[in-house]
Chains A and B, each alone.
Chain A
């Protein structure tokens, strides 16, 4: 079993809908929880991160962490075609943010 599980999709939604993405993890030592966005043939870019449990909002994006269930979520409100990308959850395996355990990534397609 992988340490981080993520449904690969694809997830297809109409423009304006809410996109809901999630990951489960097994390592209770994870403290930071990150979401990366990766456009086709590009490198991943950090979208947002959360420390420990709770919610964090940044514009149309909301990240949630439930450490008791080892479950994290990313919501995208008012989705746009430009949000079409692969979204990867990631957790640092040490106190450095450089060595990350990634989920498989979920491909999102927002149709106009």
Chain B
């Protein structure tokens, strides 16, 4: 079946602009996660959704970052007033359950470059 889909695959934006990154999880997966992968920091957890609610936002690096999920499916990660340090690959993952031994299925990411 279809895997996790992310769009756009690449995004170049100017410093100070807002960007929206989209994630379409595997159908039926209730849990959705956003991670960021950068050269200096590796893979970092950003936020977790169970259904439409976000019980864990502890990884969001600043209040410029926000995310929402609607209809228990598609999620959007928004970065306002982008900075050069926001340049990274943003990965979305989903899992069937948000607890226990339910492995993550990752998308191929959105490569964000802030100039």
Chain A residues in contact with chain B, CB under 8 A?
32, 41-46, 49, 88, 90, 93, 95-105
Q: Give chain B residues whose Cβ lies under 8 Å from the Cβ of A41.
A: 108-109, 111
Does the CB pair A102–B43 fall under 8 Å?
Answer: yes
Interface of A is mostly: loop
Query: Which 6 A-B pairs rank lowest in CB-CB distance, beginning with the nearest?
Result: A43-B106, A102-B43, A104-B42, A46-B103, A96-B99, A43-B108
Given A41-B108, A42-B108, A44-B106, A97 and B91 contact (CB-CB distance below 8 Å): no
Given A41-B108, A98-B102, A103 and B31 contact (CB-CB distance below 8 Å): no
Q: Give chain B residues whose Cβ lies under 8 Å from the Cβ of A98.
A: 31, 33, 48, 93, 95, 98, 102, 104
Q: Give chain A residues whose Cβ lies under 8 Å from the Cβ of B42.
A: 88, 102-105
Chain B residues in contact with chain A, CB under 8 A?
4, 31, 33, 42-45, 48, 56, 91, 93, 95, 98-109, 111
Does the CB pair A45–B95 fall under 8 Å?
Answer: no
Besides the known contacts A43-B107, A98-B102, A104-B42, 12 further A-B residue pairs in the complex with CB atoms under 8 A apart: A41-B109, A41-B111, A42-B108, A43-B91, A43-B93, A44-B91, A46-B103, A93-B45, A95-B99, A96-B99, A97-B100, A99-B33
Q: Give chain B residues whose Cβ lies under 8 Å from the Cβ of A102.
A: 42-44
Does the CB pair B101–A97 fall under 8 Å?
Answer: yes
Q: With the chains together, A101 CA to B44 CA distance in Å? A: 7
Q: Give chain B residues whose Cβ lies under 8 Å from the Cβ of A103.
A: 42
Q: Give chain B residues whose Cβ lies under 8 Å from the Cβ of A49.
A: 103
Q: With the chains together, A90 CA to B108 CA distance in Å? A: 18
Question: Can you offer 15 A-B residue contacts whose CB atoms are under 8 A?
Answer: A41-B109, A41-B111, A43-B93, A44-B43, A49-B103, A95-B100, A96-B31, A96-B98, A96-B100, A97-B103, A98-B95, A98-B102, A99-B33, A99-B48, A105-B42
